[in-house]
């Protein structure tokens, strides 16, 4: 192909992209195609041959880099056996092995994995499971038919997961379609209510939760939470001890705890699962994004034996829920390889080293910028919240698209980032190296200076 052909090819694809592909969370009128043709490690290559560091892990799911040889060959090997086996009354060795491994590595008590295809479904499944559990356990409590969720929560985009979600700009439109949930204030260590200091934040929010539980626990089947970091809300981080307190209170008031680790699971926060930071054993855990290393669509809802046992028996005790491609063996093969790499490449050690470097770089290079109101970080999740006024923490006018502009400028420095409004997100693959991480910080610095 001549370069002229390549150009028109790119042009043609961009036109078709605009015309025929309806992109997620994207205003299509303004959409500027960015077409990736291949990738390797932490670098994406677009159709014009431009190389970009994947600064947000292809939106929070890539773990060990793209085209990892171990994951690639695990999928190929599985392809030589069988591409799909239904999970409706049938099984296959790869998916069995994955369920066993998940039981081994997740917090104590979680033993039984229900597979589905994406994070939203894993939450949907957890909500239904919790509901049905109260109906059919030995001492039934069918009046427990609602949920507690945090303000600004994000649990996916199906109607059940939107019901427990609380991000106004995503969820408001669908209000009439949603079921009611009990909403509690979400801890936000940057924007604490007046009179609440950082040291009493945990106690303050747990007190509020306890009074809600004391009033409503008879009606509450489960509390659902994104442990430690509320992702799509803007990477809002919880104060130390909050998650542990939530576990203690939900136990005290006989409410199930659903930990949505879709974003924070698989090493992101520095431990395999965020719940481990506070020694929390949830009743149900939801996993998705990193599960297959960012390769294939698969999610998992993992429940305790106590819950599982109530579904054993005849007829209506069955969990009548399922997805055609649930437990897909190609995805399971990718997931098993992903878990092996954690061990073989000492991934969590890399996260520890890199996150420390990132912390220092952000502190010395980014924090003093006049628009940077807050930098917060948990492992390889870093948020840079831009504000109009550092002292008052007043947000920027969202219509200015400041966060987006910084990320557009970062492209010139070979880094791809996707902000959450005016919060810049740095969430690279866990395999990122020192030099690439530095390049991301350079690009953010450059982007901020272009404003
Ligand atoms: C992304 C996300 C989901 C939804 O996962 P999908 O695979 O996009 O459906 C659910 N919960 C959390 C915390 C997430 O970050």
> What whole-number distance in Å separates Cα of residue 415 and Cα of residue 150?
33
Candidates 63, 85, 121; CA nearest to 335 is 63
| Average pLDDT value for residue range 92-104 | 98
The pLDDT tens digits for 171-190 are 889 999 999 999 999 999 99
Banded model confidence at residue 5, pLDDT cuts 50, 70, 90: low
Instruction: Report the predicted TM-score, pTM, of the whole model to 2 decimal places.
Output: 0.97
Verify whether ligand 1 is closer than 6 Å to residue 119 (CB atom).
yes
Residues whose CB falls within 8 Å of the CB of residue 92, separated by 6 or more in sequence, listed in order = 82, 85, 327, 329, 332
Domain positions in the chain:
34-64+346-448, 72-344
| Gap from CA of 344 to ligand 1 centroid (Å) | 27
Verify whether ligand 1 is closer than 6 Å to residue 156 (CB atom).
yes
| Gap from CA of 263 to ligand 1 centroid (Å) | 6
Q: Whose CA is nearest to atom 8 of ligand 1?
A: 119
> Is the Cβ–Cβ distance between 429 and 62 less than 8 Å?
yes
Mutate which of 115, 235, 289 for ligand 1? The one with the most ligand atoms within 8 Å of its CB, which is 289
Candidates 56, 133, 69, 162; CA nearest to 417 is 56
Q: Given the CA of residue 299, which atom of ligand 1 is nearest to it? A: 7
Q: Given the CA of residue 297, which atom of ligand 1 is nearest to it? A: 7
Verify whether ligand 1 is closer than 6 Å to residue 260 (CB atom).
yes
| Gap from CA of 132 to ligand 1 centroid (Å) | 23
Verify whether ligand 1 is closer than 6 Å to residue 126 (CB atom).
no
Verify whether ligand 1 is closer than 6 Å to residue 263 (CB atom).
yes
| Average pLDDT value for residue range 26-47 | 96
Q: Given the CA of residue 117, which atom of ligand 1 is nearest to it? A: 7
∠ CA 257-254-274, rounded to 5°: 20
Residues whose CB falls within 8 Å of the CB of residue 304, separated by 6 or more in sequence, listed in order = 109, 110, 111, 112, 283, 284
Query: Would you tell me how many other CB atoms lie within 10 Å of the CB of residue 86?
Result: 14
| Gap from CA of 125 to ligand 1 centroid (Å) | 13
**pLDDT score, position 6:** 63
Pairing of strands 236-237, 394-395: unpaired
| Gap from CA of 426 to ligand 1 centroid (Å) | 17
| Average pLDDT value for residue range 242-262 | 98
Banded model confidence at residue 314, pLDDT cuts 50, 70, 90: confident
**pLDDT score, position 7:** 62
Q: Which CATH architecture has domain 72-344?
A: 3-Layer(aba) Sandwich (3.40)
Verify whether ligand 1 is closer than 6 Å to residue 261 (CB atom).
no
Verify whether ligand 1 is closer than 6 Å to residue 165 (CB atom).
no
| pLDDT at residue 168 is higher than 90 | no
The pLDDT tens digits for 344-384 are 999 999 999 999 999 999 999 999 999 999 999 999 999 99
Supply the CATH classification number for the domain 34-64+346-448: 3.90.1150.10
Q: Given the CA of residue 158, which atom of ligand 1 is nearest to it? A: 9
Verify whether ligand 1 is closer than 6 Å to residue 209 (CB atom).
no
Verify whether ligand 1 is closer than 6 Å to residue 154 (CB atom).
yes
Q: Whose CA is nearest to atom 11 of ligand 1?
A: 155
**pLDDT score, position 66:** 98
């Amino acid at each position: 192909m001549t370069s002229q052909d390549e150009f028109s090819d790119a042009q043609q694809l961009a036109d078709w992209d605009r015309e025929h592909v309806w992109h997620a969370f994207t205003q299509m009128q303004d959409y500027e195609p960015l077409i990736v043709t291949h990738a390797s490690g932490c670098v994406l290559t677009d159709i014009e041959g431009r190389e970009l560091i994947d600064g947000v892990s292809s939106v929070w799911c890539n773990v060990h880099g793209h085209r990892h040889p171990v994951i690639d060959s695990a999928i190929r090997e599985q392809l030589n056996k069988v591409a799909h086996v239904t999970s409706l009354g049938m099984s296959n060795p790869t998916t069995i092995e994955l369920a066993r491994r998940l039981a081994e590595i997740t917090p104590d008590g979680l033993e039984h994995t229900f597979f589905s295809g994406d994070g939203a479904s894993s939450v949907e499944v957890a909500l239904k499971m919790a509901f049905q559990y109260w109906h059919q356990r030995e001492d039934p409590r069918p009046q427990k038919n609602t949920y507690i969720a945090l303000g600004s929560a994000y649990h996916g985009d199906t109607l059940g997961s939107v019901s427990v979600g609380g991000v106004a700009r995503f969820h408001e439109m669908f209000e009439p379609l949603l079921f009611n949930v009990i909403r509690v204030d979400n801890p936000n260590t940057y924007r604490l209510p007046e009179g609440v200091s950082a040291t009493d934040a945990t106690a303050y929010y747990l007190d509020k939760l306890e009074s809600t539980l004391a009033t409503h626990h008879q009606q509450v089947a489960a509390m659902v939470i994104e442990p430690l970091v509320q992702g799509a809300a803007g990477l809002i981080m919880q104060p130390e001890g909050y998650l542990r307190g939530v576990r203690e209170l939900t136990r005290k008031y006989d409410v199930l705890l659903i930990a949505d680790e879709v974003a924070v699971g698989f090493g992101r926060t520095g431990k395999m699962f965020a719940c481990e930071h506070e020694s929390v054993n949830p009743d149900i855990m939801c996993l998705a994004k990193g599960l297959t290393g960012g390769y294939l669509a698969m999610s998992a809802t993992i429940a305790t034996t106590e819950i599982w046992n109530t579904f054993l028996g005849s007829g209506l005790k069955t969990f009548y829920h399922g997805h055609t491609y649930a437990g897909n063996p190609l995805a399971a093969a990718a997931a098993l390889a992903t878990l092996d790499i954690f061990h073989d490449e000492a991934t969590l050690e890399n996260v520890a080293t890199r996150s420390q470097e990132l912390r220092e770089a952000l502190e010395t290079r980014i924090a003093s910028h006049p628009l940077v109101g807050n930098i917060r970080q948990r492992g390889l999740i870093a948020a840079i919240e831009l504000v109009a006024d550092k002292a008052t923490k007043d947000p920027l006018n969202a219509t200015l698209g400041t966060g987006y502009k910084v990320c557009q400028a970062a492209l010139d420095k070979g880094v791809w980032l996707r902000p959450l409004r005016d919060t810049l997100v740095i969430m690279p693959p866990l395999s990122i190296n020192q030099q690439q991480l530095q390049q991301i910080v350079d690009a953010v610095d450059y982007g901020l200076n272009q404003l």
